[in-house]
Amino acid sequence: MVPFRADLHCHSTCSDGTMTPEQLLHHASEIGLKALSITDHDTLDAYTDDILALAKDLKIELLPGVEFSTILNSTSVHLLGYNFSLKDPKILAFCARHKDRRIMRYREILKLLANHGIKIDEEELLTLAIATQPSLKNRIIGRPHIALMMVKLGYVKTIQEAFKKYLGDGCSCYVQGEYITPEETIEILHNAGGIAVIAHPHLINDSKILLRLLAMKIDGIECYYSRFQEKEHKRWVKIAQRHNFLITGGSDFHGDVKPTIPLGCSWIDEEHFRKLQNYVIPRPS
Ligand code: AMP
Ligand code: FE
Ligand code: FE
Ligand code: ZN
């Protein structure tokens, strides 16, 4: 029998992935995943009625998911949200606010790049970003789109180089944008009936930031992640168990822009998935 595997972290063309939500579901089915969560950056656009119906047809349990960008003490922290109501007006308004935040932010990034002699036309950037997504308003613009544009125009050789030299956190053209806190994000997720999970915790280098996060009304930690070694899994599982947090996991699949990370390379089993699904939501904060 094929073992139950749930990949709870991947990105579609609604944010910075290269597969449409439909392609993601078909791919998940081909590789034998039983459950999936599409966790696009700051948007729920993947979760259309058609996609929910397709998941049913393919017999894949599709868990509502999102990856929210937050800032804590000038440090970027990603929070995964799961199992919330997809129709909750406050979470939808929150996503709309993120969309505006990202428009202001990429405009600022383009200005900073121009100071370095890197000229990127906003219209061209948008055209590139929507090449795989026909509806302009349905695409979140992120740094990977700008990086890809820089490669296309010959300013850098690779996406990695664009991040290393210009766009990475703390680099000369890095812009945080509107400061949205983890506390507000957690509250919005809880009020929508969902849970909040610390994404790729190993990327939080500052232990003080991690301790502050762990003291918030967090529900889980992403203990299984694409690039983790066995030793690292154990470390985060231990921390989650100590705090009585849920244990989650996923690949952070982005498609062609991160070709070394396949869908399903990290996952949780049925026991952990059901625990998450049946988790009694904390009372709204
Ligand atoms: P943004 O959401 O616009 O802040 O962009 C963050 C996204 O950029 C992450 O989710 C990754 O997909 C991507 N990213 C971050 N750092 C790198 C890097 N060094 N190389 C390639 N992609 C990166
Ligand atoms: Fe991403
Ligand atoms: Fe992330
Ligand atoms: Zn992600």
| Mean per-residue pLDDT of the chain | 93
Given a cut of 80, whether residue 200 has pLDDT beyond it is: yes
- Atom 21 of ligand 1, residue of closest alpha carbon: 160
Q: What is the structure's pLDDT at 132? A: 62
What integer is the mean pLDDT of 50-69?
Answer: 98
143 lines ligand 1 (CB under 6 A): yes
160 lines ligand 1 (CB under 6 A): yes
Residues with Cβ within 5 Å of ion ligand 2?
Answer: 16
d(CA 251, CA 237): 16
Tokens 């806190």 — which residue?
181
Q: Where does the chain have alpha helices with state H?
A: 21-30, 49-57, 89-115, 122-129, 143-152, 159-162, 182-191, 207-214, 230-242, 270-277
Q: What is the pLDDT of residues 150-166, one digit of tens each?
A: 999 999 999 999 999 99
d(CA 163, CA 174): 9
Helix (H) or strand (E) holding 80: strand 75-82
Residue of 9, 163, 180, 205 to test ligand 1 pocket, by largest number of atoms within 8 Å of CB: 163
Q: Which amino acid is at 136?
A: L
Q: What is the pLDDT of residues 132-150, one digit of tens each?
A: 665 656 678 999 999 999 9
Using pLDDT thresholds of 50, 70 and 90, give the confidence band for residue 125.
very high
